[in-house]
A and B are shown apart, each in its own frame.
Chain A
Amino acid sequence: DTGVSQNPRHKITKRGQNVTFRCDPISEHNRLYWYRQTLGQGPEFLTYFQNEAQLEKSRLLSDRFSAERPKGSFSTLEIQRTEQGDSAMYLCASSPGWAANNYNEQFFGPGTRLTVL
C-alpha cells in the first residue's frame, strides 16, 4: 500500500507525559500537513511542510506541540506535557509539490487516536 501511513494508530497516555506520532507520506509528495480532529467536528489545520521547511503553524499549535520533517520525507509530531484537552484524532496528509490548476487534493492517513487520561 503506497498511501499515507501513521503510527501508532492508537495511543493512551497519562496527563503530563510526552507523546510522539509519526507520519510517512506518499513518497513523491513534497507537501505534508497535520490536522487535529475532535468528536463531531471536522479536521482543524495544525501545520504544513514544504519538503523539510515548516511554512505555517496554526495558533492551535501551542508551544507544547512541535513538528519536524528533517529530511523532507517522514514527519513527527510531538506533544509535551499532555493535557486531557489534547485527546483527539491526529491526521496527517500529503500532496504533490505542484498544485495543478490551482487546487490541492490532499491524501490523508488513517490517523493516530490519542487519549489522555
Chain B
Amino acid sequence: SQQGEEDPQALSIQEGENATMNCSYKTSINNLQWYRQNSGRGLVHLILIRSNEREKHSGRLRVTLDTSKKSSSLLITASRAADTASYFCVCGMGGSNYKLTFGKGTLLTVNP
C-alpha cells in the first residue's frame, strides 16, 4: 500500500457538528480504507471504498473518492464525543495488500 496524507492534522468541533477530513495520495489505487484509533477501542477499520466507487455510506460515515484528483474525504455527521480519535487513510494498490502504510492521521476532538 502507499501512504496517504491526511488533512487537516488536527480538527476540533462541537458535539453535533459534522467533521470532514481529507486524504490525498500520489499513484493509482485499487481501494482506500479508513481506520480510527482511540484509547478506548484501539485501531479499528471503519470503511473501504473501491476505485470504481465514488461514494459509500456506513451509519454516520460518508466516504467519497475522486480518483481524478487522487483524493478521498471522510465525513462524520452529527459527531459525538466518542468520535474523538485519530483517523487514518490507507491506500490499497491491489494484489497482495498485506502491508498497510499509515500517514500521521487527523486528530479529531469532539467537545461536549
**Are A and B bound to each other?**
yes
CB within 8 Å for A104 and B92 given contacts A42-B104, A44-B102, A48-B99? yes
**Using a CB-CB cutoff of 8 Å, which residues 74-112 of chain B contact chain A?**
86, 88, 92, 94-105
Of the four ranges (under 10, 10 to 19, 20 to 34, 35 or more), the interface on chain A belongs to 20 to 34
Interface residues in chain B, defined as those with a beta carbon under 8 Å from any beta carbon in chain A: 30-31, 33, 42-45, 48, 50, 86, 88, 92, 94-105
* Residue numbers in B under 8 Å from A109 (CB-CB): 42
User: SS class of chain B's interface: helix, strand, loop or mixed?
Assistant: loop
Selected contact of B102 from candidates A43, A99, A107, CB within 8 Å: A43
CB within 8 Å for A101 and B88 given contacts A108-B43, A109-B42? no
**Least Cβ–Cβ distance between B56 and chain A, in angstroms:** 13
Interface residues in chain A, defined as those with a beta carbon under 8 Å from any beta carbon in chain B: 31, 33, 35, 40-45, 48, 50, 55-56, 91, 93, 95, 99, 101-111
Question: Are B99 and A102 in contact (CB-based, < 8 A)?
Answer: no
A-B contacts, 17 listed (Cβ < 8 Å) = A31-B98, A45-B101, A50-B98, A91-B43, A99-B97, A102-B31, A102-B94, A102-B97, A103-B50, A103-B97, A104-B97, A104-B100, A105-B33, A105-B45, A105-B48, A108-B43, A110-B42
